[in-house]
Amino acid sequence: MNHFPKFIHSHLLRHFSSLPKLPYFTKIPSKYRARAIEDAQQALTDYLHCTRYIPFVYAEHIAKNSICSLSSLVSGIDFSAPSFNKNVLRFLRYHPINEYEFFFESIGIDYDEVSGLLPSKKFFFSEDETVLHAACALSGFGFPWNKLGKLYKEEALIFRASSKELKARLCRIKEVGFSNISVIGICLAFPYVLRDVGELDGEVAALLNDLRSVFVDFDLGNHVEANVDSWYEICRKMRVFYDLGCQKGEIGELMGRNKSLFLQHSEEVMVKKIEYFCRFLARKEDVGLLILQSPEILDFDLETPVISVMGILKHFGLSADKRDSIAKEYPYVLGRNKMANLPNVMKALNLHEWLFNKIKDGNYRLLVNCTLSDLDEDFDKDFRDSFERIQFSRTPIHTMEKLIFLHKIGFGENSLTMKVLAHVHGTSAELQERFDSLLCMGITFSKLCKMVQTTPKVLNQSPKTIVQKVNFLLYEMGVSLDYLDIFPAFLCFNLEKRIKPRYRLHKWLTENGLCTRNYSIASIVATGEKSFVARLSRIHPDAPKHWLESFSYQEPGDSS
């Protein structure tokens, strides 16, 4: 057997030493490990080709790209440097493998996902060769073997087509005006184009018309390197906009006129900016069109600049009267904040739609011009004094993380924010989880921020407790979420010890005609115990006794 050159051995050692699921190969002394992997792969290739009659090139693809399955296979074979290849071959003669397991890993599917894809009661390709033949046809066209899993995971039915059918589909796509390499990149990014495309009508035809416009009519294809990875990367960037809901067949010219967007920016940068604008709760399609129409936005720093909330509102044209109204209604949002938090700041003010529409309508450059340049602008001395005291507190890091959380949900640099900070307990992650659970229950962002400002302790409840209390309010008390605007402190009382027993007693008194006055939920729940019992006495002389015996919460084991 030919030995690998030293630099290949070194590369294999670096590569495979980083893989987490090689229980056997990692036990082999490092100086023999690359050779052992090579021997095992060669033995598996020979077995698949000579014993299972799989064409050599595809047998080799499977063996070279299924390292985790291979490691598991040979885990029971003792390692011996001179004869390891023969030992593996001998083992394979008497221990047939599940060929589908090695195949699925080899085409790029994560090893942990392979077991869920294996056909039941089938081990060998000879029992059903359709999947293998489809892979061979795609590989023959030029698809990298270890990327075929991208197709399988999204469109498994592609692999139920015959080789002839697949070749015909690929040729139809190519006839639109693409090269082999560009067809491969398109198919990997948009696997559904390889469904039974027939005469290329519907959404597939619309997509291909867009791509032809971009790559051929606007000449983007000549700016893409002639390799599969480059074409796949550029097509993935385009897919981002279709996934946002942009209509196929309608954005080809727009993408073509702004082709620099796909050449100069990574998918990661694009997605990050898209996520930023989606936080304004705008339609995803509108966000996609904003980026396509104004690609320079991708160069904006929307994370680190410091902004003045009032400055932003003035900058984007909100009238002085409306700004005064905002200052009175939402004083806790005012002051400074980071540009990264702007979407939540606007949601806290219930102005997110207004600002996004301003940005979408061509005012996006104002985002660059509205950052603070004057160190004294919108400076709050009380906030700064409290901030400095945090630095010398017992838990400065913990407190700072809570403050950062409040800024993230829209609270500005002002004294009201510091008052809220003093009453919220838990880590920033816990506070965020509780905040999100209240949002998930249907409370709007702006109303929730106002609740946090007036009653900070609403964020001191666990998500489970929050859900239980809100569900009791909605489904047993029959009250809408809007009641929390009036009485947010409802969420701060104990459900089992306070809310349930008191509400159920009042319900019983009302149903039995003993109480004719309609007490509010706040009055029922928030009244102190002595005042509550005194009120019961006024309703009916026996009511306090009934409360203590039948409704009030009793600690487990308390029979008194």
Angle between helices 6-17 and 30-46 (to 10 degrees): 90
Sketch the domain layout of the chain as residue ranges.
Answer: 14-201, 494-553
Are 336 and 374 within 8 A, CB to CB?
no
Mean pLDDT value across residues 294-302:
94
Cα–Cα distance between 487 and 507 in angstroms, integer? 19
pTM: 0.85
Tell me, rounded to whole angstroms, the distance of Cα 155 from its chain centroid.
Answer: 22
**23-69 confidence digits (pLDDT tens):** 556 666 677 777 778 888 888 898 889 888 899 999 999 999 998 88
For residue range 69-128, list pLDDT tens digits in order.
Answer: 888 777 767 667 677 778 778 777 777 888 899 999 999 999 899 989 888 888 888 888
Mean pLDDT of the 191-197 span: 82
Given a cut of 70, whether residue 19 has pLDDT beyond it is: no
Structure token digits, residue 421: 């900070």
What local confidence, expressed as pLDDT, does residue 73 receive?
A: 77
Q: 306 — phi, psi (to 5°)?
A: -95, 135
Alpha helices in 377-476 (DSSP H): 381-391, 396-408, 415-421, 428-440, 445-454, 463-471
Q: Which residue has the tokens 């409704």?
A: 551
pLDDT at 317: 94
How far apart, in Å, are the Cα atoms of 148 and each of 21, 140, 234, 377? 22, 12, 18, 57
In the chain, pLDDT over 90 holds for what percent of residues? 64
Do the Cβ atoms of 12 and 35 come closer than 8 Å? no
CB 255 within 8 A of CB 214: yes
Q: Is 314 exposed, middle or buried (0-12, 13-18, 19+ CB in 10 A)?
A: middle
Rounded CA separation 302/323 (Å)? 23
Cα dihedral 197, 202, 207, 208 in deg (nearest 10): 50
For 453-494, what is each residue's pLDDT tens digit? 999 999 999 999 999 999 999 999 999 999 999 999 999 999
Q: pLDDT tens-digit profile of 166-178?
A: 999 999 999 999 9
Residue 376 neighbours by CB under 8 Å, 6+ apart: none
336 in helix, strand or coil? strand
